[in-house]
């Protein structure tokens, strides 16, 4: 028999968040403006743990966000705070409350110099397709960049990033990495910039209680060239390609490894109401199961605006993941295929309804990681 679910709880959480954000509207005219977003949705998920046990459930999710935006003179600032609350009809122990806070700052002291920085903290409770279970973690990230042009055409860019994912789910390690890099910058035209350079990254895991150590600590060296802006008529975005080499600190992970590096996010607008997105990537990563991974993915999405109220969008995606751990039992190869579609109706300029459906299939060399997934849901979003 299905468990009884108290649907008042997520709505109470949302109302508390809105009440906390509401007083900020009084200072809009002086300091900036506040945008508030509320959403509630119901979903069916045929595989909430993303493994071959095929455990299904119905989920109710309520979320709220208050975002403060200020763009004055040389400094642009954006700060967001919010939370998401999820209830499960059959598996009440999986309920979660995930808060987050994010901040971004851009400082432009001149037309030749730009400084960007970002910091975020968020609780992530999710179905983890890498670990094939539901996990909870506290994720912290900090990143920054400085770009300066010596002339109208030439300059440099330095970048840095730090990540610390602390897993609260027993049996998994914290994942940490940091990177630093430098690029040469060439302004090919007002609409297109070319960059190329070197990035060094170090990754490791820690605090995996009750399980063997075997951290896949590693050092990566990446050389790449990239393009930013309008790459062709009606095509804009970023495209970066290069090579990356991973060197492990400890034996047992198969020695050094090298790979094609790819990071791109392109948007093509062939018609006024039609847009096509193409996202592709390949790089190394590190997992909370003490694995090194090489992941390549391709996603193609299409959005079609039908009229002032209706729009449809859909996507197909493929991901190939190669996981390497200590011993054959901790290594596997996954091929992940996904397709999804969504219909959106704008009730007003501030309220939208949507209905979505998706299907995914994973073929893996590990039977536990081989599964199918169907999900479908409806939601309402309001912004103020």
Does residue 270 form part of some domain? yes
Work out how many domains the chain is built from and give that number: 1
80 inside domain? no
Evaluate whether residue 7 is within a structural domain: no
List % helix, strand, coil for the chain (3-state, nearest 5): 10, 70, 20
Any residues with CB less than 8 A from the CB of 77 and at least 6 apart, and which?
Answer: 32, 68, 69, 70, 71, 103, 104, 105, 106
Where the chain has pLDDT below 70, the residues are 1-30, 209-213
pLDDT in tens, 301-325: 999 999 999 999 999 999 999 999 8
DSSP 217-266: -EEEEEEEEEEEEEEETTEEEEEEEEEEEEEESSTTS-S-EEEEEEEEEE
User: HSE-up of 340 (CA within 13 Å, CB side)?
Assistant: 21
**Within-domain flag for 73:** no
Q: What is the pLDDT of residue 23?
A: 47
Query: Is 45 a member of any domain?
Result: no
Quick one: pLDDT at residue 16?
56
CATH number at residue 319: 2.40.160
Q: How confident is the model at residue 24, as a pLDDT? A: 43
Q: How far apart are CA 126 and CA 58, in angstroms?
A: 14
- Domain range for residue 241? 101-120+130-383
pLDDT value, residue 250: 82
Give the single-character DSSP code of 3.
P
In this structure, the dihedral spanned by the alpha carbons of residues 367, 369, 375 and 380, taken in order and rounded to 10 degrees, is: 170
Q: Confirm if 261 and 242 have CB atoms less than 8 A apart.
A: yes
In a domain, 5, yes or no: no
The SS3 of residue 329 is helix
- Residue 20 falls within a domain, yes or no? no
Number of neighbouring beta carbons within 10 Å of residue 41 = 19
Give tens-digit pLDDT for 173-208: 999 999 999 999 999 999 999 999 999 999 999 987
Please indicate, yes or no, if residue 69 is contained in any of the structural domains. no
Q: What is the pTM of this model?
A: 0.91
Please tell me the predicted confidence (pLDDT) of residue 207.
85
């Amino acid at each position: 028999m299905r468990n009884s679910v108290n649907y008042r709880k997520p709505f109470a959480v949302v109302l508390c968040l809105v009440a906390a954000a509401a007083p900020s509207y009084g200072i809009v005219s002086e300091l900036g403006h506040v945008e508030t977003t509320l959403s509630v949705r119901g979903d069916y998920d045929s595989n909430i743990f993303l493994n071959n046990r095929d455990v299904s459930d119905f989920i109710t999710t309520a979320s709220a966000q208050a975002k403060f935006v200020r763009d004055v003179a040389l400094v642009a600032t954006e700060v967001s705070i919010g939370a998401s609350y999820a209830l499960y009809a059959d598996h009440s122990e999986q309920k979660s409350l995930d808060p987050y806070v994010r901040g971004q700052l851009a400082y432009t002291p001149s037309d030749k110099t730009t400084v960007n920085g970002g910091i975020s903290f968020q609780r992530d409770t999710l179905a983890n397709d890498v670990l094939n279970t539901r996990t909870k973690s506290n994720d912290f990230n900090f990143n920054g960049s400085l770009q300066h042009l010596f002339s109208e055409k030439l300059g440099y860019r330095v970048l840095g990033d730090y990540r610390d994912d602390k897993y609260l789910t027993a049996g998994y390690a914290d994942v940490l990495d940091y990177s630093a890099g430098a690029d040469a910058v060439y302004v090919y035209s007002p609409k297109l910039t070319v960059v190329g350079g070197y990035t060094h990254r170090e990754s490791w895991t820690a605090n995996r209680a009750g399980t063997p150590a075997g951290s896949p600590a590693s050092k990566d060296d990446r050389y790449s060239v990239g393009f930013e802006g309008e790459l062709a008529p009606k095509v804009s975005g970023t495209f970066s390609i290069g090579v990356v080499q991973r060197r492990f600190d400890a034996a047992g992970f198969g020695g050094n490894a090298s790979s094609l590096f790819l990071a791109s996010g392109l948007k093509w607008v062939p018609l006024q109401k039609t847009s096509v997105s193409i996202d592709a990537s390949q790089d190394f990563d590190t997992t909370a199961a003490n694995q090194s991974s090489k992941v390549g993915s391709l996603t193609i999405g299409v959005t079609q605006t039908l009229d002032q109220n209706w729009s449809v969008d859909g996507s197909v995606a493929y991901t190939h993941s190669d996981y390497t751990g200590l011993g054959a039992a901790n290594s596997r190869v996954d091929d992940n295929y996904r397709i999804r579609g969504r219909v959106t109706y704008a009730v007003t300029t501030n309220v939208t309804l949507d209905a979505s459906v998706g299907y995914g299939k994973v073929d893996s060399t590990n039977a536990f990681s081989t599964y199918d997934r169907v999900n479908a849901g409806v939601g309402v979003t309001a912004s103020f």
